[in-house]
Structure 1
Amino acid sequence: MTSTSQSYKARLNSIDALRGLAALTVVFYHARPMFWVGLGEIWKQYGLSININAWLCYATAPLYFGGLAVILFFIISGYCIHRRGAEQLISDSKASLNLKQYAIRRIWRIYPTYIAALLITALIDAYIRTHYLAEVDSGQSNSLFTFIMSLLALPGLAAPYFGSNTVFWTLALEIHFYIVYPILFYISRKHGALKTLALAFSISLIYIFGDFLLNLSDLLPYRGSGNPIFLPFLFTWTFGFYLAEVEAGRAALPKRYYLIAALGLIIALIASLFELSSLVAFSSTLPLSGLLYWSVKPQGNKFWDSKLGSLFTKLGLFSYSIYAIHRPVLLFIKVSLAQILSEKVFLTLIPALSASLVAVLVAYFFFLLVEKRTLKPIS
């Protein structure tokens, strides 16, 4: 295999497009149940009658799996974090990671946006608590202690999640992965990428089955809407890490990887029938990793460079902002318009689509004010 160091690009349009696709999926995944009556009610109203609105609603059924966009985000994260490290290892098998520089860059990249998102969540929650008390979750906490625990990436472990922004559990896990990355780097340097992936596979699978057999999640009183333990997702993040090694030339995927990806998809679908969410996420890593791998190849790059792909690429540039603040923005829209919108409106997807568009636009301005400043690395 040959090194790709000469063609290395700090930013790939295809990866930004995947980020944009994942971010938009998450936004509509959350907006859909907030601004729409649901498939059950639509079926009662229209059944199989010829109604364009009804069939458009039925077409959104795959969004039942929209939460898997988070898994794609984790894969992309592992891939992007390790791309430069994999390039260094192919050039020098004894290359070391500059821990100080790495830590500074990761903190600068994630924390300004994260802190700003926490503050916006606090403001919107305060507004809702004052004007629409019925919309406040009884388990919601906006305390200073919870805020600090969120900054320390300990929500769900040492304290409840902060406020109404239910996506914060994934931001905490992202920080956990940043902490684990140097360990993965050194294991890969010494033992190879495949053994590193195998180790992550084993750890995640053991945790998932241990949780299933021993109900380990019951020991986490603050778990909330997400899993505060990164272990079941370690394989997912490390697969992105592994794809960076494949790109650099230090590892390879099986020639017929699509068969393995198809098997993962089948297992994920079966696991979803039994509501085994951790196993669904674990298995879906295989087809979603295949999507990323295809996206960075010439054929995938060509697709994402199309007009449709360029739209997702533009969204991907501020996907972190979209992800970080869309939930409180959607909630603000919901409580503000709930009293003036007719119930019949919620039989259509128009409110959900409109609210999603507003959330994306607000996220763009948030990006210009906050996140954009973090794109320029500091040393």
Structure 2
Amino acid sequence: MSDPALDAAGSSLPLSSTLAPAKAAAAPPARGVLHNEAHDEARAERAGKEHAIDAWRGFAALLVAYFHCRQVVWVGMQAFHQSVGHSLSPNALAAYLTFPIAWGSAGVPIFFVISGYCIHRGGALRLAGNPAYRLDTGNFWLRRFARIYPVLLAALVLTFALDSLSLQFPPVSHKIREIGLHAFLVNLFSLQSVAGKTYGSNGALWTLSLEVQFYAIYPLLFALRRRIGMTAVLAIVAAINVVSAYVLERHDIQFFTSYWFSWTLGAWIADARARATDARAPGWLYGLAAAFVAAGCAAFHFGQYGAFQLWALGFAVYLYKVLEPRDPARREAAGMPALPRTSLQTLLHGVFRPLSRALSFFGDFSFSLYLIHLPIFVLLSSWLFRSSLQMSIWPSFGYMLVAVPAAYLFYRLVELPAMRWSASFKPKTAPKTSLTPR
């Protein structure tokens, strides 16, 4: 859902971090080899943080996909437990181990926060260097259109094809809604819940409509950021979010204003980190993040919407902490000692780095996976089981083994060309002098 390829300012994320605030550029140069080593380490750390963003994107996509997969093919935890009780069979153990997936929709607010961060990051860095910087609204919308709509159109066509096949296997799955022209156009123009329902079996498209609406309103958010600052913008958006939840969400009308706070949290983090100093965020933020996530899991029992807000807060707090600046080059230039890793940090780094790299791979095609997984699951269930829910958990794993490669193929054939097309509209790099306030 969120897009790592292009931020609002037209730069790719791994490269945009090289654009430092003007005051950082004015720092006295370090000496000799020590400076070069520190600079290389700083670049590696920045790349690692962007790698972490990709990993979380991959995690969120897999989480949401398997959350939907269990819903399509499996009877659910309550019915399963009533049937098998405390059995220790391989099927029972595997099924019980999937219990945390009951909160799998937490991947959606993770996507929203990451999206806000990625979209605003380039503009935030430029504003830090030049407060007079203005967003090229037309170019931003053009690149967003080129990035999103070819992929969305292909996903809708694929949904139509797969659902048409699923309809040949009665009884028809209750997951399949209208696949006519009206529903197609409603989803193509991102008007789900406003002018119609999601297309066919692809219920996940409701969040994509919110993303498109976030992009449409972003230039206004950026203009407000220039005038009143990002913290004030976040406060205004929070108030709008509360009102929208009361007026729209409780009537089951999903509009971007009811989820805007989650997205703007990511933008606020990008803005804060673009202006950050070497001061470290307190370690207790990790505990606060965990508390918000746990509260979201508890709130999920009463409704998904409240849980979404708490999960977004939890992930945003975590992201703010994990993206804190620990630039060795800047610290060495300022005569400050490097921040050494503790033995525990070294151990955790060695354990989680391979996992992070694996998840980052899935993050590359997370958008494609999110767009097409549900029609694939519904077709498999219609074909293999005539849409009946299964007591065995094993088919859900098999479904994922089909959907993930299919999504990767879709990414290579459809999404990558769209990314290249979008990148072709990237504005030419401005001269360095243009970033100096006049």
Pairing of 1:15-94 with structure 2 (within 5 A): 15-94=53-132
Pairing of 1:239-254 with structure 2 (within 5 A): 239-249=265-275
CA distance in 2: counterparts of 1:241 and 1:183, whole angstroms: 13
CA distance in 2: counterparts of 1:36 and 1:289, whole angstroms: 32
Query: Which one of 289, 295, 302 corresponds to residue 274 of structure 1?
Result: 302
Q: Any idea what the Cα deviations from partners look like across 1:312-369, whole Å, max 9, x if unmatched?
A: 111111111000001111111111211699x8xx433221011011101111111111
Q: Which amino acid aligns with 2:150?
A: P
Query: Which one of 233, 245, 256 corresponds to residue 230 of structure 1?
Result: 256
Q: TM-score normalised to the size of structure 1?
A: 0.86
Q: Which amino acid aligns with 1:236?
A: S
The structure with more radius of gyration: 2
CA distance in 2: counterparts of 1:340 and 1:191, whole angstroms: 53
Pairing of 1:1-379 with structure 2 (within 5 A): 5-6=19-20, 12-129=50-167, 131-137=168-174, 140-210=177-247, 215-217=250-252, 220=253, 227=254, 229-249=255-275, 255=282, 256-258=284-286, 260-275=288-303, 277-296=304-323, 306-338=353-385, 346-376=390-420, 377-379=423-425
CA distance in 2: counterparts of 1:63 and 1:135, whole angstroms: 26
Q: Which amino acid aligns with 2:424?
A: I
Which secondary structure state, in structure 2, belongs to the residue aligned with residue 306 of structure 1? helix
Q: Any idea what the Cα deviations from partners look like across 1:8-67, whole Å, max 9, x if unmatched?
A: 769921111111111111111111122222222332333224334323211211111101
Which secondary structure state, in structure 1, belongs to the residue aligned with residue 216 of structure 2? helix
TM-superposed deviation, 1:284? 1.4
Contact residue 115 and residue 266 of structure 2 kept, 8 A: yes
Paired residue for 1:224? Answer: none
Contact residue 4 and residue 87 of structure 1 kept, 8 A: no
CA distance in 1: counterparts of 2:387 and 2:205, whole angstroms: 30
Runs of 5+ unmatched residues, structure 2: 1-16, 21-42, 327-344, 426-438
Contact residue 268 and residue 281 of structure 1 kept, 8 A: yes
Contact residue 378 and residue 387 of structure 2 kept, 8 A: no
Which secondary structure state, in structure 1, belongs to the residue aligned with residue 395 of structure 2? helix
CA distance in 1: counterparts of 2:322 and 2:287, whole angstroms: 18
- Alpha-carbon spacing, 1:15–1:124, altered in 2? closer, same or farther (3 Å): same
- Alpha-carbon spacing, 1:329–1:162, altered in 2? closer, same or farther (3 Å): same
Q: Any idea what the Cα deviations from partners look like across 1:155-190, whole Å, max 9, x if unmatched?
A: 221122221100111111110000111111111111
Contact residue 73 and residue 387 of structure 2 kept, 8 A: no
How many residues are paired up?
361
- Alpha-carbon spacing, 1:182–1:313, altered in 2? closer, same or farther (3 Å): same
Contact residue 246 and residue 253 of structure 1 kept, 8 A: no
Paired residue for 1:223? Answer: none
Runs of 5+ unmatched residues, structure 1: 221-226
CA distance in 2: counterparts of 1:180 and 1:304, whole angstroms: 41
Q: Which amino acid aligns with 2:19?
A: S
CA distance in 2: counterparts of 1:119 and 1:233, whole angstroms: 28
Name the stretch that deviates more: 132-141 or 85-94.
132-141
Contact residue 78 and residue 238 of structure 1 kept, 8 A: yes
Cα RMSD after superposing both structures: 2.9
Contact residue 103 and residue 297 of structure 2 kept, 8 A: no
Q: TM-score normalised to the size of structure 2?
A: 0.75
Contact residue 281 and residue 321 of structure 2 kept, 8 A: no
Which secondary structure state, in structure 1, belongs to the residue aligned with residue 259 of structure 2? helix
- Alpha-carbon spacing, 1:82–1:54, altered in 2? closer, same or farther (3 Å): same
Contact residue 175 and residue 200 of structure 2 kept, 8 A: no
Which secondary structure state, in structure 2, belongs to the residue aligned with residue 370 of structure 1? helix
